[in-house]
Amino acid sequence: MRNYAIVGFLLLIASLALYGFGGTQTDQIDAKRLRSMLVQMGYEIKDLDTDEGEEKYQVKVVSGGYDVFVAYEISKSKNYVWLTVLLGDAPAESSPKALAFLKETSKIQPSMFYVSANKLMLGLPVDNRGVTNAILRQRTDSIAENVGKTADLWSK
């Protein structure tokens, strides 16, 4: 009888572990919730894209003397909320600036410089689990602060 109790207990633990690791991410936010959170935080929102599944929003944050326009979107996988800032034209690949951006990324991570459509961007992925207004505010402040910290690289 004792062996059955132990086996039953182990099966219960295993099933709970599988449910916890394989369950759906019910605490993920969607684009509608993301927009609502930005409104709750007091931001004036500009809709950059309103197509379903492509929603993208932008807010202005003042940081370090800069007006920083932070864009927000849910990744295609729904696993991340991306915060991005357009910094201007990308440097040439052979430019010493390209390596400088790569080196600077190691100092400001998890924010990162990247190039999209020949534009220099600063991005910050946020794990889309348990995102709260406080987390979103902290990440917004972080990317905006990194824009100011790195202005000597991208503003020239």
At 49-78, the pLDDT tens digits run: 999 999 999 999 999 889 999 999 999 999
Render pLDDT for 74-124 as a digit per residue (tens, 0 to 9). Answer: 999 999 999 999 999 999 988 999 999 999 999 999 999 999 999 999 999
Whether the pLDDT of residue 7 is over 70: the answer is no
Give mean pLDDT, residues 36-47.
97
Angle at 125 between CA 77 and CA 26, to 5 degrees: 45
The pTM of this model reads: 0.81
Domains, the chain, with CATH or none: 27-154 (3.30.1460.10)
Q: Are 81 and 128 in contact (CB under 8 A)?
A: yes
Instruction: Return the closest-CA partner of residue 86 out of 135, 46, 130, 43.
Output: 46
Residue 17 CB neighbours (<10 A)? 10
Those residues whose C-beta lies under 8 Å from the C-beta of residue 73, and which sit 6 or more positions away, are: 31, 34, 49, 54, 55, 56, 57, 81, 82, 84
Give mean pLDDT, residues 133-153.
96
